[in-house]
Structure 1
Amino acid sequence: MNARSDDPVLTVRGLEVAFETNDGTIEAVRGIDLDVHRGETVAIVGESGSGKSQSMMAAMGLLASNGRARGKAVYRGRDLVGMRERDLNRIRGDKITMIFQEPMTSLDPLYRVGRQLAEPMLHHRGLSRRAAREKAIALLDRVGIPDPQRRIDAYPHELSGGQRQRVMIAMALANDPDLLIADEPTTALDVTVQAQILTLLADLQRERGMAIVFITHDLGIVRRFASRVYVMRRGEVVESGDTRTVFEAPRHPYTRMLIDAEPAGEKAPPPADAPMALSGERVRVSFDIGGGLLKGPPVVLKAVDDVTLRLRKGQTIGVVGESGSGKSTLGRALLRLLSSEGRIVFMGRDISAADKAAMRPLRKELQLVFQDPFGSLSPRMTIGQIVTEGLLVHEPGLSGQERERRAVEALREVGLDPAMRNRYPHEFSGGQRQRIAIARAVILKPHVVVLDEPTSALDRSVQKQIVELLRDIQSRYGMAYLFISHDLAVVRAMSDYVVVMKTGRVVEEGPTGAIFERPASDYTKSLMHAAFALTDFHDEARRVAQGG
């Protein structure tokens, strides 16, 4: 918890946000009030689409072009709503900064991270390029980027999802802001780095008296990190107050539901004689990350180092490990989306040396749900077009009416209203976009789906729904899943077998129950300790809410 000053940094009164869409006006935020004081952390929680992110985007003047805000968002006596862009730009990135939910879409892929880190310091503080670079290296070190002197010259695509999120945090802290708005800042981070980042933010807050607005669906983090909390539902604040009071004695049924939402159950293994869907034997993936010519000896990163994995029809293998452990790279290599060494076999066919032309007809059977739902959805296509895009490629003989029927069915399967299929991606929350990405993959009924952090952007109640949905789809169609995640609670509910990776190698593997109940390696034990230290409060909160 943190100390609070009586000086308000941000005062929001009667804030409303609406979007004009093809289907009419959507009211995203409906007249909310909130206060943020110097030196305190205020959390805004709620399910996807509740309006928690849009409320702060409105305060920052960052709504999409079809969005409109009314009401007041007063920063140190100045109303930000309706302020001229030129005046807002003097405040944004300097006095008020924001850590966005999707780091890959916030970082320019054409520029090295060092240049992007230095930009706010050059623009707002007038530092020399040398001084800005030195501070940027120090910031990368503080947020846990390994070897920051080298990583500062990397491009965003050369970093893992978690590392990109840490770069975003470093950028937000560069100018020592008065107010930091953190929109799901730990979504892409593994549990050990979550703890490091939260500790870092708390330390910086104590040092600088910085106020923080923390937007999240992770109630465990809210419990440990925030002094006050606002619970939002359908654009309105339904409950607010001191964090301990709200979570130990919730008054609103919706708050009780959020506390009680947790992926549960166990995944039964497939039959012992289930056919092999996809296997990799001694898979290796390496990247050249520096050196050569006048820059010294070549530097090679072994992203996946001699990994063997066998995935049967109807099975779900959970792949866990910290950011940069090689989880996502392994998944892409098995789908032949990356060059690799070793032998890869799909449904009895060796595809190790298959070229693009040979792989094209197999793509329908090998699908990938990406970690970043916004970056993988075309902003120029409607949701209906996105979901049916694969049908146009792989089932060109379908009529437009049949494609429409399949789109409606797929959207219903992932819990979205098919009537929304004429909207565009920016009109949906991060969690809704992730469900759209899942619908796009499962509409083709593939044999194998690699799910790369498919629930990372979802609140707990929707995570539970998605886990149940994926189980149901798997049981009906016999799909095999490779489930890549840093969320061990979801992995435990979703997988029947777990592979633990560290620095490109498998350090431990086995049936889910054995890994979680009797971890053998010290590394696995440290992951378990960090994960359940963050989420232990759920059991206690549920007991209190239920009168136990």
Structure 2
Amino acid sequence: MTDNKQTILAVRDLKVDFTTPDGTVNAVKGIDLDIRTGETLAVVGESGSGKSQTMMAIMGLLAKNGGVRGSATYRGQELVGLAPDQLNKVRGAKVTMIFQEPMTSLDPLYKIGRQIAEPILYHRGGSRAEARARVLELLELVGIPEPERRIDSYPHELSGGQRQRVMIAMALANEPDILIADEPTTALDVTIQAQILALLRSLQRRFGMAIVLITHDLGIVRHFAERVVVMRRGELVEQGATQEIFERPQSDYTKMLLAAEPHGRKAPPPETAPVILEGRNVVVDFQIGGGLFSGGKRYFRGVDGVTLRLHEGQTIGVVGESGSGKSTLGRALLRLIHSEGIYRFGSTDISRLDRKQMRPLRKEMQLVFQDPYGSLSPRQTVGEVITEGLMVHEPGLSRADRDRRAMAALEEVGLDPAARNRYPHEFSGGQRQRIAIARAIILKPRVVILDEPTSALDRSVQGQVIDLLRTLQQSHKLSYIFISHDLSVVRAISDYLVVMKDGKIVEQGDTQDIFDAPQDAYTKALIGAAFSI
């Protein structure tokens, strides 16, 4: 039991402040926590709760405008205020950290072998040959295939899961006491998530290290952590054994987080509902190579002979791992990329329509992206963003009419209409996603394709967005194609499920039937990985 484990990192009255043009922001407001030998401690809470900043402060990695007060002692040594040369003897050797997005943490200009070797050479010394041998050992340990070849690869040549394994190898290079993992699986497919978590668990047993898991995914916490710390607005609101927290939460906030797991089931549309969007024998090929120095043209088949029919009022969930072709299929159905096949929108054959001929139909076929911040112009106010489509599709509207429509759309997605005069960067991730949805529904479409619209959001915000999408669907008789790798979200929102692998549909049918009794081995693996983490 954890009671018999020794405290190796003790945090007392830790405060983190950031100096901004608008004043001081108190990100962490005096928290206490202990990390014990060999345990897995999960730190949970919504975005902005202070969970990542707490660990960054302990590691001495705050931004320049950040300051830390209080105490964090590692085996009796105070880390807060420690000189950088002394702190470097601890971080990277005794306490290490892996981050959510390895592509931004790995230097694109250097081979992975060199990057893993750096902490080895810094903390252990020795020759480059000895460091290279240790790197090969680590790559094999974390399950990188063909380590002798991959050691000389650049980060962009690896998959997302492989890059995360490289980060783990780097963190484990000096066999630390504590590994801090900040959202290490959020951007990964469920099968890769399960592999990474299984890898961390096995490495923890091997090295006897403590793991601090920062996450908003309570499914992972339930199966992976021994203790849980719940944070909100920079304060620690509850902590305890995982089973105790999940079965008998004391804080209202903890109860809200647990209740925010996607739930509910969507009823299918009536059998008489007409087909609103159809793609038959859809094929999408991408050219690879064929440049000045790359030899002849070669092609990669992203979608391979897929047929899909979306009925009025239906929500089709499309799932599969990265590279399965699900996003490519969505864009092909909207005729946004070159593809082969037969396409119909309602009673109209749109297979051979060019861009100009498709324009009148665009208002009825809308797309919502995964990252609203990347798809919302930072130079436009929210009102301008939302009404941009109206200027194209309803040019006869006056400025006052457009403004009224923007106010109504914002109100419908649960935002203050006065927000139309602010800019996207002034909103949270969940609010920006609501703005993206408002931009789509203001045109009164019949079909909306949603491409990973909730993957970057906290569970509580995911639940709010799902409820919003359900309400809008009923109000406007919308039909959705919901593309995601989050099976719990897909199960809650869709009535029909399509499973894709390598550009093909391997299984499809009623959502609940597939979750209850999947037939294809790949579907079984996806569902097993999602609900046994």
Match of 1:173 among 169, 172, 185: 169
What do you get for the CA RMSD once the two structures are aligned?
Answer: 4.4
Q: Which stretch shows the higher mean deviation, 330-339 or 410-419?
A: 410-419
Q: Is the 8 A contact 1:141 1:148 kept in 2?
A: no
Residues 450-465 of structure 1: matches in 2 within 5 Å? Answer: 450-465=449-464
Residues 229-275 of structure 1 deviation map (CA, whole Å, 9 limit, x = unaligned): 11122332111122222223322233233333332222222344444
For the structure 1 residues 104 and 272, does the alpha-carbon distance in structure 2 shift closer, same or farther, using more than 3 Å as the test?
farther
Residues 324-348 of structure 1 deviation map (CA, whole Å, 9 limit, x = unaligned): 3222222233234443332333444
SS at match of 1:324: coil
Residue aligning to 1:541:
none
For the structure 1 residues 297 and 181, does the alpha-carbon distance in structure 2 shift closer, same or farther, using more than 3 Å as the test?
farther
Residue aligning to 1:35:
34
Residues 445-504 of structure 1 deviation map (CA, whole Å, 9 limit, x = unaligned): 433322222222333333322221101111112222111122222212211111111222
Instruction: Give the aligned residue type for 2:214.
Output: I
Shift of 1:7: 4.9
Q: Is the 8 A contact 2:18 2:25 kept in 1?
A: yes
Instruction: Give the aligned residue type for 2:526.
Output: L
For the structure 1 residues 256 and 350, does the alpha-carbon distance in structure 2 shift closer, same or farther, using more than 3 Å as the test?
same
SS at match of 2:532: helix
Residues 73-119 of structure 1 deviation map (CA, whole Å, 9 limit, x = unaligned): 555667666778898788766665544445666677xx47x736743
Residues 117-516 of structure 1: matches in 2 within 5 Å? Answer: 118-119=114-115, 121-122=117-118, 125=121, 135=135, 139=139, 142=142, 156=156, 163-164=159-160, 166-176=162-172, 178=176, 179-287=178-286, 300-352=299-351, 363-373=362-372, 375-376=374-375, 380-381=378-379, 385=381, 388-392=384-388, 394-395=390-391, 409-415=408-414, 431=430, 433-516=432-515
Identical columns (%): 57
- Structure 1: gaps (5+ residues): 535-548
Instruction: Give the aligned residue type for 1:340.
Output: S
Residue aligning to 1:546:
none
SS at match of 2:482: strand
Q: Distance in 2 between matches of 1:123 and 1:412?
A: 52
Q: Distance in 2 between matches of 1:83 and 1:276?
A: 66
Q: Distance in 2 between matches of 1:449 and 1:360?
A: 16
Instruction: Give the aligned residue type for 1:391.
Output: T
Residue aligning to 2:6:
6
For the structure 1 residues 456 and 26, does the alpha-carbon distance in structure 2 shift closer, same or farther, using more than 3 Å as the test?
same
Q: Is the 8 A contact 2:410 2:416 kept in 1?
A: yes
Shift of 1:368: 2.9
SS at match of 2:467: helix
For the structure 1 residues 452 and 83, does the alpha-carbon distance in structure 2 shift closer, same or farther, using more than 3 Å as the test?
farther
Residues 147-201 of structure 1 deviation map (CA, whole Å, 9 limit, x = unaligned): 9958985775x88xxx425524522432426343323222233332222111111
Q: How many residue pairs end up in the alignment?
A: 523
Q: Distance in 1 between matches of 2:81 and 2:406?
A: 39
For the structure 1 residues 65 and 39, does the alpha-carbon distance in structure 2 shift closer, same or farther, using more than 3 Å as the test?
same
For the structure 1 residues 247 and 68, does the alpha-carbon distance in structure 2 shift closer, same or farther, using more than 3 Å as the test?
same
Q: Is the 8 A contact 2:316 2:480 kept in 1?
A: yes
Q: Is the 8 A contact 2:515 2:527 kept in 1?
A: yes
For the structure 1 residues 279 and 11, does the alpha-carbon distance in structure 2 shift closer, same or farther, using more than 3 Å as the test?
same
Q: Distance in 2 between matches of 1:438 and 1:9?
A: 44
Question: What TM-score results when the alignment is normalised by the length of structure 1?
Answer: 0.78
Q: Distance in 2 between matches of 1:214 and 1:530?
A: 19
Q: Is the 8 A contact 1:320 1:501 kept in 2?
A: yes
Q: Is the 8 A contact 1:4 1:37 kept in 2?
A: no
Q: Distance in 1 between matches of 2:446 and 2:532?
A: 36
Q: Distance in 2 between matches of 1:387 and 1:132?
A: 55
Q: Distance in 2 between matches of 1:272 and 1:440?
A: 31
Q: Distance in 1 between matches of 2:78 and 2:355?
A: 55
Q: Which stretch shows the higher mean deviation, 116-125 or 77-86?
A: 77-86
Instruction: Give the aligned residue type for 1:15.
Output: K
Residue aligning to 1:16:
16
Instruction: Give the aligned residue type for 2:166.
Output: A
Q: Is the 8 A contact 1:49 1:428 kept in 2?
A: no
Q: Is the 8 A contact 1:2 1:41 kept in 2?
A: no
Q: Which stretch shows the higher mean deviation, 71-80 or 454-463?
A: 71-80
Residues 362-399 of structure 1 deviation map (CA, whole Å, 9 limit, x = unaligned): 55444333334555456x55xx7257425235426667
Q: Is the 8 A contact 1:364 1:446 kept in 2?
A: yes
Instruction: Give the aligned residue type for 2:226.
Output: S
Q: Distance in 1 between matches of 2:407 and 2:91?
A: 41
Q: Is the 8 A contact 1:374 1:433 kept in 2?
A: yes
Q: Distance in 1 between matches of 2:398 and 2:333?
A: 33
Q: Distance in 1 between matches of 2:267 and 2:402?
A: 34
Q: Is the 8 A contact 1:390 1:444 kept in 2?
A: no
Q: Distance in 1 between matches of 2:360 and 2:489?
A: 32
Instruction: Give the aligned residue type for 1:171.
Output: M
SS at match of 2:185: coil
SS at match of 1:174: helix
Shift of 1:525: 2.6
Q: Is the 8 A contact 1:9 1:211 kept in 2?
A: no
Question: What TM-score results when the alignment is normalised by the length of structure 2?
Answer: 0.80
SS at match of 1:527: helix
Q: Which stretch shows the higher mean deviation, 147-156 or 435-444?
A: 147-156
Residue aligning to 1:542:
none
Residues 102-146 of structure 1 deviation map (CA, whole Å, 9 limit, x = unaligned): 5666677xx47x736743534763785997699489749946789
- Structure 2: gaps (5+ residues): none
Instruction: Give the aligned residue type for 1:333.
Output: A
Residue aligning to 1:115:
111
For the structure 1 residues 191 and 341, does the alpha-carbon distance in structure 2 shift closer, same or farther, using more than 3 Å as the test?
same
SS at match of 1:187: coil
SS at match of 2:485: coil
For the structure 1 residues 193 and 327, does the alpha-carbon distance in structure 2 shift closer, same or farther, using more than 3 Å as the test?
same
Q: Is the 8 A contact 2:387 2:406 kept in 1?
A: no
SS at match of 2:49: coil
SS at match of 2:307: strand
